[in-house]
Amino acid sequence: MNIQDNYQKNKKNIFFSENKDIQTHREKLINIFQNDRFDKKNNESLKNINLKNFIDFKYKYLIPEETSVINNNQENSYSIVCVNGQCSSFKDDKIEITKILDEDYNDFSKNDTIENNDHFVNLNSLFLNSGFKIVIKKNNKIKIKISNIITDDGLTIFQKNNYICEEGSSLNLIEEYENKNNSTSNILNVIKLEKNSQLNHFLIQDNSPNHNLIITSHSSCKKDSTYTQKVYNFSEGYVRNFHYSELIETNSEVDLQGIFFLKDNNTSNNKTFVKHLAEDCKSNQVYKGILNDRSRATYFSNTHVDQVAQKTEGYQLSKGILLSDNASYFSKPELKIYADDVKCSHGSTIGPIDENAIFYLRSRGMSKIAATKILISSFINEELSSIDNEQMSEIIQKKLVRYLSKVK
């Protein structure tokens, strides 16, 4: 079924389909799909995937029978079970959770940082069927854990979430994606950090082979704010992690980290696009991958330093270990600098495990498999030891042990 027919057929289940402005925007998106020749060579959102599978899909969405649960466990700490992308409304003096509204959609659709040829974002806007908005109120320090549950096989979740950290607030956000059914989640997180706010965003991804997870996030940082994203991808199904970031006021910072553990035929696509639009801002990116069997990964990174963005610091680093001759990791960190007083660097190192290090460890009595595992662990040791949340550190360690148990 073509995209137009698919949309028309399922319109009644799609958010804001009665809104004229949104309808106009969606018509434009449909035109993009119909006119695009899907240039796989130049369009980074199309690398390593068969887009046809995602465009010719069977739309299925179920409004969850059980509403999501929001618990205020301890002071300033909340846990949310988000079912099929839906989250109940909640309000206290520190946070407010609501459904997303037409105005949130419009607000986002006017942003031009995300390229209009990112077809997964376009699909998200077109078939939007779930999502929520969380506002952290001024000067509050909050912890939120979100478990994302999908109830049925074959569901196609198109979810848009808005996170707003008001001035002086701080949010520690842990998101877990552990779906074992055959479904697709296409999620767009729009994150706004007001003056002097902070968001530490951890994403743990551990889905089964038939689950596709497409996460796109967009953060904008005002003066003295910091957005940190750490992604740990242990999924056996396809995962796409794209992040677009705008440092719009001085002394703001974005710190992006992604670690992925791939095996079998799995694919992980990663992309970042950081725009430095003000002075004294900092961006840091570290992406590391361990790839076994016939797995594949990409890391496309673009750091754009505007001519007004003097005193910028922008760093990009990607590293990969290929455990098999058939695994591949394509990395392309790019800098575009239009200011003259900046500190920027980019680098990429991908290769098999260091045979000299293996020999050294084995020469002390360690088996080859034990030496390989210890070198994999050491490869990501710096990132894992920097996790300051004990519970999360334990979760990641367990998943790492499980991944390593499959390494032969």
Partner 1 sequence: MFLEIKDLSVKIENKNILKSLNLNINKGEVHAIMGPNGSGKSTLANVLAGKEDYEILNGRINFKDNDLFDLNIEERAQEGMFLAFQYPVEIPGVNITPFLHSAINSKRKRKNKEEIDNLSFAKLLKSKASDLGINIDMLKRSVNTGFSGGEKKRYEILQMSILNPDLAILDETDSGLDIDALKIVTDGVNKLKTKDNSFLIITHYQKLLDYIKPDYVHVMVNGSIVKSGGSEIAAEIEEDGFQKFQ
To partner 1, the closest distance from the beta carbon of 377 in angstroms equals 7
With respect to partner 1, which residue has the nearer C-beta, 115 or 383?
A: 383
Q: For the window 58-87, what string marks contact with partner 1 as x by the rule CB under 8 A?
A: ------------------------------
Q: What backbone torsions phi and psi does residue 50 show, to the nearest 5 degrees?
A: -100, 95
| Number of Cβ atoms within 10 Å of the Cβ of 88 | 16
To partner 1, the closest distance from the beta carbon of 376 in angstroms equals 10
At position 209, the amino acid (one-letter code) is P
Tokens 């990116």 correspond to 285
To partner 1, the closest distance from the beta carbon of 336 in angstroms equals 31
Q: Where are the alpha helices (DSSP H) in 13-163?
A: 20-35, 51-55, 102-109, 119-126
Q: For the window 142-181, what string marks contact with partner 1 as x by the rule CB under 8 A?
A: ----------------------------------------
Among 9, 368, 398, 406, contact with partner 1 (rule: CB under 8 A): 368
Query: How many Å apart are CA 287 and CA 362, to the nearest integer?
Result: 29
Structure tokens given for 259: 């670690």
With respect to partner 1, which residue has the nearer C-beta, 213 or 286?
A: 286
With respect to partner 1, which residue has the nearer C-beta, 101 or 358?
A: 358
Told to check if 370 binds partner 1 by CB under 8 A, we report yes
To partner 1, the closest distance from the beta carbon of 358 in angstroms equals 9
To partner 1, the closest distance from the beta carbon of 230 in angstroms equals 18
Told to check if 386 binds partner 1 by CB under 8 A, we report no
| Number of Cβ atoms within 10 Å of the Cβ of 290 | 27
CB 371 within 8 A of CB 388: no
To partner 1, the closest distance from the beta carbon of 340 in angstroms equals 34
Can you name the residues that pair with 220 across neighbouring β-strands? 192, 246
Told to check if 101 binds partner 1 by CB under 8 A, we report no
Told to check if 367 binds partner 1 by CB under 8 A, we report yes
Q: Where are the alpha helices (DSSP H) in 252-387?
A: 355-362, 368-379, 381-385
With respect to partner 1, which residue has the nearer C-beta, 187 or 380?
A: 380
Query: Please, which residues have CB within 8 angstroms of residue 35's CB and are 6 or more apart in sequence?
Result: none
- Number of amino acids touching partner 1 (CB under 8 A): 22
Among 362, 389, 404, 407, contact with partner 1 (rule: CB under 8 A): 362
Among 18, 56, 334, 382, contact with partner 1 (rule: CB under 8 A): 382
With respect to partner 1, which residue has the nearer C-beta, 38 or 360?
A: 360
Sheet of 141-149: strand order equals 69-74, 77-83, 141-149, 170-177, 198-205, 226-233, 253-262, 282-291, 312-322, 342-352
Query: How many Å apart are CA 336 and CA 189, to the nearest integer?
Result: 25
SS3 6: helix
Told to check if 381 binds partner 1 by CB under 8 A, we report yes
DSSP annotation of 117: T
Tokens 């239009």 correspond to 338
With respect to partner 1, which residue has the nearer C-beta, 344 or 357?
A: 357
With respect to partner 1, which residue has the nearer C-beta, 51 or 357?
A: 357
Q: 341-360: which residues touch partner 1 (CB under 8 A)?
A: 354, 356-357, 359-360
Query: How many Å apart are CA 126 and CA 5, to the nearest integer?
Result: 12
Among 51, 55, 353, 374, contact with partner 1 (rule: CB under 8 A): 374
Binding site for partner 1 (CB under 8 A): 354, 356-357, 359-368, 370, 374-375, 377-382
